[in-house]
């Protein structure tokens, strides 16, 4: 490298950060050298067929241990996470995961339990799962629970398959599923996967289900209505009893998407509203950590009439107090996954429920609603640019419309979201729900302090004041992240998912 090759605007560390891990290291450099084998080597051909063996070794960089550690630490710093800052991602409920629950899940009896362990030798785990089922039953107001589904969307699929099995058992062919236009995007995808037809139901001026549209579309070929209450607009539908009456009146099943259950725990229950099926998102309501490629959990609760179709095998408690896994019904839709679910998720969620208790769960929901309405009030000063899309108050989240902001200040909600990254915040959800123009869906959750919400509101106001002077600043944001504004359309059409060799 010569001085002509050096970019004077970059420091040596910035130039080093632009070098990929495949360009670092040196031949023969190692983090660890294993001692010589003191047992006979194994012939690879006895382990894998030739078709699955490499002809050549993988082309991996040769690095020292400090280089490897620094590589992964730097990668971790390129992610935004809840431990780093406020994460008001609407609908996703990104709340703090108590570290105590992580320690409980890491106890050897939990973490080292083999999934093939015989039920007789896993009584503690089965008892925990049994107790978690009873707790979720109480929260939902429905008597029967299965922990099998691996995520909320998987729980949705279980619910729709249960509804289909219920109707088929009665000799009925029902091909349609009603979904509001405020529904989560997974709802119509789930219906399609289950081989049924999506029928969209409109929203009224108050943000609830349009009852006239529902009555017109609730025909005898409808299998179920998929609904979450409060919905994705942050609105609790006051007509829920009438909605249940309409759906049940044509012999259909009422399904509750539990994505927003964290707003009503201990206050009201889906079963009491008339729902037949409920799925839970343990990562939303009960602090199981989100994603990152890790396991999820979407248990499902059902009413008495849906119980025969619930997944097998089930956790049963015998008269002597012991627990077992047994196939309990010949009408079951069967098994939806291997084993009984992601056990570590159950441990964390059960620890959360036990540590809070009934009053604590209710307090969590009330605090979530309070925080959302507090933040909404703090943003009242900018309502001329970011008005509330529906209603005057909200439940645990709210949707603002950035249409006036786009028209008057020249920036879109996407620009606002990108600029928030420079202020140290993960942006709220944008563009969703789709029925709100320039939607900004905000969910502060119950685990954030008032001071955090105050600072976030000030950041929103600062960006709007800045845009009034020079909208181009937000249009070109972010400036402080590892990568700048990306061409999202091109990234979706031509993703770079493989490191060239």
Question: For 220-228, what is the mean pLDDT?
Answer: 95
Model confidence at 1, pLDDT cuts 50, 70, 90, reads very low
Q: Say what the pLDDT of residue 501 is.
A: 43
- Output the six-digit token pair for 271: 């079963």
Q: Is-contact 361 265, C-beta < 8 A? A: yes
* Antiparallel, parallel or unpaired: β 398-401 and 439-442: antiparallel
5-19 pLDDT tens trace? 556 666 776 677 678
In the chain, what is the greatest distance between 2 CA atoms, to the nearest angstrom? 83
Question: For 486-490, what is the mean pLDDT?
Answer: 81
106-144 pLDDT tens trace? 999 999 999 889 999 999 999 999 999 999 999 999 999
Residue 82 has pLDDT above 90, yes or no: no
486 or 2: whose pLDDT is higher?
Answer: 486
User: CB neighbours of 330 closer than 8 A, spacing ≥ 6?
Assistant: none
User: Tokens 């490298």 map to which residue?
Assistant: 1
Model confidence at 202, pLDDT cuts 50, 70, 90, reads very high
Most confidently predicted of 2-16, 28-42, 398-412: 398-412
Question: For 370-375, what is the mean pLDDT?
Answer: 98
Half-sphere exposure in the Cβ direction for 438 (13 Å, CA): 19
| Domains of the chain (ranges, CATH numbers) | 3-74 (no CATH), 100-355 (3.40.640.10), 358-492 (3.90.1150.10)
Q: What is the pTM of this model?
A: 0.88
Residue 167 has pLDDT above 80, yes or no: yes
Q: Is-contact 181 198, C-beta < 8 A? A: no
Terminal Cα-to-Cα distance of the chain (whole angstroms): 23
Omega before 198 cis (within 30°)?
no
Q: Is-contact 155 298, C-beta < 8 A? A: yes
Q: Say what the pLDDT of residue 138 is.
A: 97
Opening angle at CA 78, ends 76 and 80, nearest 5: 90
* Antiparallel, parallel or unpaired: β 222-227 and 398-401: unpaired
| Per-residue H/E/C for 251-302 | CCEEEEEECCHHHCCCCCCHHHHCCCEEEECHHHHCCCCCCCCCCCCCCEEE
Residue 293 has pLDDT above 70, yes or no: no
Q: Say what the pLDDT of residue 9 is.
A: 65
- Burial classification of residue 225, based on how many CB atoms lie within 10 Å of its CB (0-12 exposed, 13-18 middle, 19 or more buried): buried
Residue 403 has pLDDT above 90, yes or no: yes
Helices (H), 97-143: 99-105, 108-111, 123-140
Model confidence at 497, pLDDT cuts 50, 70, 90, reads low
Taking all residues of the chain, what is their mean pLDDT, rounded to a whole number?
A: 91
- Output the six-digit token pair for 311: 């997944």
64 three-class SS: coil
399 has which bridge partners? 441
Extended beta strands in 119-270, E state = 144-146, 176-180, 197-201, 222-227, 253-258
491 or 222: whose pLDDT is higher?
Answer: 222
Residue 89 DSSP symbol: B
Helices (H), 326-381: 343-378
Residue 34 DSSP symbol: P
Task: Give dist(CA 86, CA 427) in Å, integer.
Answer: 9
Opening angle at CA 493, ends 488 and 494, nearest 5: 95
Q: Say what the pLDDT of residue 3 is.
A: 44
Model confidence at 338, pLDDT cuts 50, 70, 90, reads confident
Question: For 228-233, what is the mean pLDDT?
Answer: 94
Task: Give dist(CA 33, CA 28) in Å, integer.
Answer: 11
């Amino acid at each position: 490298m010569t001085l002509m090759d050096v970019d004077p605007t970059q420091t040596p560390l910035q130039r080093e950060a632009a070098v990929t891990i495949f360009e670092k290291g040196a031949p023969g450099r190692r983090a660890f050298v294993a001692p010589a084998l003191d047992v006979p080597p194994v012939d690879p051909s006895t382990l894998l067929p030739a078709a699955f063996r490499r002809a050549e070794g993988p082309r991996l960089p040769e690095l020292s241990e400090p280089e490897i550690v620094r590589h992964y630490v730097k990668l971790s710093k390129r992610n935004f996470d809840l431990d780093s800052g406020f994460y008001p991602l609407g609908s996703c409920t990104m709340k703090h995961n108590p570290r105590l629950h992580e320690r409980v899940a890491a106890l050897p009896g939990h973490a080292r339990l083999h999934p093939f362990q015989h039920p007789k030798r896993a009584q503690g785990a089965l008892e925990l799962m049994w107790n978690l089922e009873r707790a979720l039953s109480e929260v939902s107001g429905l008597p029967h629970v299965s922990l099998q589904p691996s995520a909320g969307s998987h729980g949705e699929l279980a619910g729709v398959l249960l509804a289909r099995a219920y109707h088929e058992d009665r000799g009925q062919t029902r091909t349609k599923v009603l979904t509001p236009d405020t529904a989560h995007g997974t709802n119509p995808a789930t219906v399609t996967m289950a081989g049924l037809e999506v029928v969209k139901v409109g929203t009224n001026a108050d943000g609830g289900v349009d009852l006239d549209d529902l009555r017109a579309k609730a025909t005898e070929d409808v299998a179920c209505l998929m609904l979450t209450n409060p919905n994705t607009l942050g609105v609790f539908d006051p007509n829920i009893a009438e909605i249940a009456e309409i759906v049940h009146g044509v012999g259909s099943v009422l399904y509750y998407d539990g994505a927003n259950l964290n707003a009503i725990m201990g206050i009201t229950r889906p079963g009491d509203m008339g729902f037949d099926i409920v799925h839970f998102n343990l990562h939303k309501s009960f602090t199981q950590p989100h994603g990152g490629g890790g396991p999820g959990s979407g248990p499902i609760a059902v009413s008495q009439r849906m119980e025969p179709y619930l997944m097998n095998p089930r956790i049963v408690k015998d008269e002597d107090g012991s627990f077992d896994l047994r196939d309990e019904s010949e009408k079951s839709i069967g098994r939806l996954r291997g084993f009984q679910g992601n056990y570590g998720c159950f441990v964390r969620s059960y620890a959360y429920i036990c540590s809070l208790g009934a009053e604590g769960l209710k307090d969590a929901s009330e605090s979530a609603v309070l925080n959302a309405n507090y933040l909404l009030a703090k943003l009242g000063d900018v309502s001329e640019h970011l008005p509330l899309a529906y209603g005057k108050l909200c439940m645990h989240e709210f949707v603002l419309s950035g249409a006036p902001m786009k028209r008057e200040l020249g920036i879109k909600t996407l620009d606002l979201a990108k600029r928030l990254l420079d202020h140290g915040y993960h942006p709220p959800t944008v563009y969703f729900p789709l029925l709100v123009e320039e939607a900004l869906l905000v969910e502060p959750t119950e685990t954030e302090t008032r001071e955090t919400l105050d600072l976030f509101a000030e950041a929103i106001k600062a960006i709007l004041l800045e845009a009034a002077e020079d909208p181009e600043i937000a249009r070109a944001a972010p400036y402080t992240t590892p990568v700048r504004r990306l061409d999202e359309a091109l990234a979706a059409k031509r993703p770079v998912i493989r490191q060239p060799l």
